[in-house]
Structure 1
């Protein structure tokens, strides 16, 4: 699955995604080159419908950058530029590459925080009870 995202992203995650490094450089200096290897990551976001006051949680549990580092510099801009990023979403241990949930449909409201901060298949999988063999959410 290919994802294209337009967003403002903090510098530290971008450096990890694209593999910028300061190895062998003075503090505060980073470089990017043919040996730069980005890290795989989990991408979660809230899709918010302001008109209906509805929030949908989305998650891509196994992503990597599908393009190299791309820079666009605008002279005279008065804010941090919005970036267009392209990622590849790969399957996880559950053979899925995308998950979604409306917050209003969750039985446990704390699940939304776990989803955003520490998403994994273990966070969303149903729990089996040992006495009856049935599955609970």
Structure 2
């Protein structure tokens, strides 16, 4: 059984708050197709690393790890523990979101355009959101060492 603690719920709450901010702006101002669309990139850059972290953090749950029933060798268990600790860390989530943001701006968005044009404001807003997510994570780590 996976153990969901209050740190996981706090990560999920941060994601939900940023998503609610984007939805409220979309429903009131209308971000899509306007000059204010960069705000969506900012809030998603801020919130999505916390979403991934809240999904993968419960896999670290001590004695109830989901692979314990398979393992018979301690060396393999140590190797899997290190791998799970690396892939369930916040920085792994931040890195995956950064790669997705980079791919989205440099490849997916370009498929809809005749020539290569980088939306600098979207790119910078997403990068600032990701940087702010890292700062928020560090502040939470100082306040709650188990986070």
Quick check: TM above 0.5? no
Q: Which has the higher helix share?
A: 2
More strand per residue:
1
Q: TM-score, normalised by structure 2?
A: 0.27
Q: Choose between structure 1 and 2 for higher RCO, CA contacts under 8 A separated by at least 6 residues.
A: 2
